[in-house]
Amino acid sequence: MTTQTHPSALSALSLSVLLAMSTQAYANDGEPADTQSTTPTVVLEGDQIILERTAPTQVGQAVVSRDTLDAQNIQDAKDLVRYNTEVDVADVGRYGNKGFAIRGVDGNRVAMNIDGVPLPDVESNEIFSPYGYMYEGRFSPDLELMDSVRITAGADSLTSGSGAVGGSVAYLTKEPSDILQGDDTAGGYAKIGYNSKNSEKQIATGLAFDHGRAQGLLNYSYKEGSETKNHAMRRADYARVNPEYLFSEEEMPSAYDTASLIYPNPMSFDKESVLAKLYFLPTDEHRLGVHGMYQRTENDINVESTNSTGSRTGNTTRRAHDVEELKSYGANYRYQPDNSSALDTLSVDYTHSDVLGLADTWVYRREFTCSDPSISSWMCEYRGKEMVLNKDNVTLSNREYRPTQTVTDQVSLSLKSVPFDFGKFGEHKLSLDAKYAKHDYTSSATYLSNSSYIKDHLSYAFPDADKTNYSITLTDSVRLNDRLRALAGLRYDNFTYSPYFQNDVNGLSETTRNNDVCNNSSNTTIYCQLYRSGNGLAQSKFHHLTWNTGFDYEVIADKLDARYKIGTGFLAPTVSQIYSNFEGMGIRQVPNYALKPEKSLNQELELKWTVNDDVALTASGYLTQYDDFIHTRFWQGNTNGCDSRSTCLQSTNLDTAKIYGVRLGAKADLSNWLNTKGRLSVSADYHTARDSAKVTLDDGSVATINTLASVPATLIVGADYISPNEDWSLHARVRGIAAKKAKDTKSVEVAEIKETVTTTCTGGFYECYYGGYNYDSATGSYTKTATAVTGYDEYVDTYKYADKSKGAMVVDIYGTKKFGQNKQFIVNAGVYNLTNTKYIPWETLRMFNTTNTNQMVGADGYGFARYTAPGRNFGISATYQF
């Protein structure tokens, strides 16, 4: 594979400013802010972690450090939240995941960013999603390039902007100091690793230098592997990805139901990532920097299980050659005056980011013959014989080439003040952040033919859009006294969407296609009427105000701390929600240019009781309320542009929801009690939540359902031992995951309304006879009775697969061993699901609530086996630091 490197810039400056500010506001050790250590120690899930950069300690936040990423062999998003009781990952089958699920919501409702630059939202079209041909994943950064990941539960739009209605996940890339050891001016590392759950092999290397006036780093990572295995842990075989591969009856028990496949879709992937940063410091006060990031993942997948109209021995088969790619570059400037009476830090950052998600489906034709040459192929299986694939005659028919791309240019300005002392009104540190971002979103669907009889053509013309967003954020970090600190912030966001159509999609024009379709007065569809009048691509504008405040109060000195926060979040509508315009097959999508952002209000209170120097107990509760959730409304009849022959769809702001939960924690250092030579500690973390949502049904009534995205009750018990000279450590985690209760899985179901109609033939004998009418001797007339679908009815019912949710206990053991005089050779290893527990994770099971060929099971239930969690598996890595 050819290595491609592109400059990228994902600056950490503005994010770092906010993190430093929030630490001052929420430091929980009771000491004055100016006396705290510059290298804070935090305890996360039982692990004591020394952070090189300031970590946030707000209520509901957790930071996964570089040490934890290495020690726990964290390779992907699921590993990242493995020991977080409030967070899981939202699966979407073929495209990996659509982000994280936090506080009862998932997907776009959880913001994601890299160094403060937002990752694109998932664009989902109600019409095309069920067929699985459109890319609907969210970009997953390579964790090898990250220094830490901050996970915030609860509304976080003050910091993360649009999307943080339920929470946020912020990735922070490495800096030169994260690779260098101690006071070294140059150094690096080399790493190899393997994970059995997906046969992933990894190599990585990093180099860094710090010569005072110049600093820099270069970090490279390469990974290759297979599909993530299910409980069977079947050995990967890349031959299964080839179009000539034919599933056996053991693999796909139902010959005429491809979704009966009992193993995960065979897959081969490779991922290449590069991070580069260079800083120049002309003086102690000024720093100039450039940096770049490049990541490309290629996934080759056997997606035969999604061929809903095919069969195990059908004449067509499908393979996916999907791509995820990020190219980013930029520059930044930081000014830190030595003796300013007002300004502490000024930073300016420019970032250009290009994120591509490509769904590339290859459709092959294949031929079969009967194992008994005397029997025709169409009678072969009926006669009990086996169909034999002619592997030499598997040919490419066509490709469904559907890229989704978002190009972002973002400029940010951050100002941070020195502390201002207002006497009895406390010490205040102000922060002002301003951002301007332009996002160019495009999506297309091209039919690429491999036949001379069929030309390449655009299957559909999706509206694209230039989205501009500017925001201003003002925060005040207050230290009223040694026991009381507070934080308050206000943010304003403004959005403008300007839709358009592309004129060059693989040499084809979406505008031309629209002209061909709509410049015909007989075409009376809603969109074409708007298109001909020049109103088919109206601008959409909206704005939103976000606020956040909280306090940290030491109720009893050195014993009881109380922390409270209240804040808001919002999510801007997607392009597809506003402008979707498909018409055909009796369905009409109606654009909604007046769609508003979704909103949330989060409140959380945490109490921490320090029993003594070795034992601490925590208890927290939260309530999050959601409003103006975007809901797809269906209707029929001659209203709002619909007609009696069509079913119309439109995204509208209708739904509300709420979730409330409790989290209990305990941490104890047993070293003194047991007189151990090293450090022995134990921990426990329990979380449970309840949720409900109000949904307006299509008949106007309001129903109460569940969001399905809330995490089942979970208890994690941990034990950790670190040797006296810290050259080895051993950790154990036991996760008790409760089954999702059926009463907590209410959802909206749709049933067809059928009507039996008897008609009498009024024509002649031949017309009646060949028209399927039956002669009624009693009346002497010809009649026929038929059942017709005359509509549909929405109703609330328990999620049909809720009974598949089972409680599980999962045991993991992992550890670290350091060798060498300077402990420069490090081995991290772990065994996960040690007891080989078989279960289907709720985050996987709940995805079946959305109709999509990428997440289907056979009618006989065989397909559920392919969604079980990996069985007993291991991960190991070896790192040499120099």
| Beta partners for residue 210, in sequence order | 215
Give residue 45's pLDDT: 40
**Confidence at residue 14, expressed as pLDDT on a 0 to 100 scale:** 34
pLDDT of residue 565: 96
Q: Does residue 228 carry a pLDDT above 60?
A: yes
pLDDT computed for residue 133 by the predictor: 74
Given this model, what pLDDT does residue 632 score?
A: 82
| Residue ranges of domains in the chain, CATH in brackets | 13-501+537-745+799-881 (2.40.170.20), 755-793 (no CATH)
**Residue 461 pLDDT class (50, 70, 90 cuts):** confident
- The yes-or-no verdict on residue 314 having pLDDT over 60 is yes
Cα distances (angstroms) measured from residue 60 to each of 155, 271, 620, 668 = 10, 32, 9, 21
Q: Are 853 and 177 spatial neighbours (Cβ–Cβ below 8 Å)?
A: no
Question: Which pLDDT does position 657 carry in this prediction?
Answer: 94
**Mean pLDDT value across the chain:** 88
Q: What is the pLDDT of residue 790?
A: 67
Split at pLDDT 50, 70, 90, the class of 31 is very low
Distance CA 527, CA 602 (A): 39
In whole angstroms, give the CA distance from residue 241 to residue 216.
41
Which residue from 65, 60, 57, 69 is spatially nearest to 28, judged by alpha carbons?
57
Beta partners for residue 791, in sequence order: 753
pLDDT at 605: 97
Is 6 a residue whose pLDDT tops 50?
no
What is the predicted pLDDT for the residue at 48? 39
Q: Is the dihedral of CA 222, 225, 227, 228 positive or negative?
A: negative
DSSP 105: B
Burial of 184-198, coded b for 16+ CB within 10 Å and e otherwise, reads eeebbbebebbbbbb
The pLDDT assigned to 583 comes to 74
pTM for the whole structure: 0.88
pLDDT at 641: 64
Average pLDDT of span 410-438: 97
Contact between residue 58 and residue 565 where contact means Cβ atoms under 8 Å apart:
yes
The residue with greater pLDDT, 552 or 525, is 552
46: confidence class by pLDDT, cuts 50, 70, 90: very low
The confidence score (pLDDT) of residue 408 equals 98
d(CA 872, CA 230): 10
| Strand bridging mode 540-556 / 560-571 | antiparallel
**pLDDT band per the 50, 70, 90 thresholds, residue 16:** very low
Q: Which residues are CB-neighbours of 492 under 8 A, at least 6 positions away?
A: 471, 472, 473, 543, 544, 545, 546
Residues in the chain, total: 882
pLDDT of residue 880 exceeding 90: yes
As a whole number of angstroms, the distance between CA 837 and CA 793 comes to 40
Give the rounded percent of residues in the chain with a pLDDT score beyond 90: 66
pLDDT band at residue 644 using 50, 70 and 90 as cut-offs: low
454 phi, psi to nearest 5 deg: -125, 130
Distance between CA atoms of 326 and 137, rounded to whole angstroms? 14
Whether residue 379 is predicted with pLDDT greater than 90 in this model: the reply is: no
More confident residue, 346 or 134: 346
pLDDT at 296: 98
With cut-offs at 50, 70 and 90, classify the pLDDT of residue 292: very high
Count of CB atoms situated within 10 Å of the CB of 436: 14
Per-residue confidence (pLDDT) for residue 271, from 0 to 100: 98
Question: Any idea which of 243-257, 551-565, 640-654, 680-694 has the lowest mean pLDDT?
Answer: 640-654
Two structure tokens written together for 191: 């790493």
Lowest mean pLDDT among 69-78, 419-428, 631-640, 871-880: 631-640
Q: Tell me if 163 sits within 8 A of 121, measured CB to CB.
A: yes
pLDDT confidence of residue 631: 84
Report whether pLDDT(44) > 70. no
**Tens of pLDDT, residues 516-528:** 777 766 666 666 7
What per-residue confidence (pLDDT) applies to 873? 98
pLDDT at 25: 35
% residues pLDDT > 70 (the chain) = 90
Contact predicate 321/364, CB 8 Å = no
**According to DSSP H, which parts of 182-224 are helical?**
none
Most confident of 125-139, 707-721, 854-868: 707-721
Measure the CA–CA gap between 580 and 267, rounded to whole angstroms: 32
The answer, yes or no, to whether residue 744 has pLDDT greater than 90, is yes
> Phi first, then psi: what are they for 179, rounded to 5°?
-100, -35
Higher pLDDT, 113 or 375: 113
The answer for residues whose C-beta is within 8 angstroms of residue 135's C-beta and 6 or more apart is 95, 322, 357, 358, 359, 402, 403, 404
Residue 525: the pLDDT is 67
Which pLDDT band holds residue 645 (cuts at 50, 70, 90)? low
Residue 794 has pLDDT above 70, yes or no: yes
Please report, in angstroms and rounded to a whole number, the separation of the first and last CA atoms in the chain. Answer: 28
Dihedral sign from CA coordinates of 47, 48, 52, 58: positive
pLDDT of residue 478: 96
Interval 89-138: pLDDT, tens: 988 888 889 899 999 999 999 999 999 999 999 988 777 766 677 898 99
Q: Determine the 3-state secondary structure of 480 from DSSP.
A: coil
- Lookup result for tokens 């009376």: 524
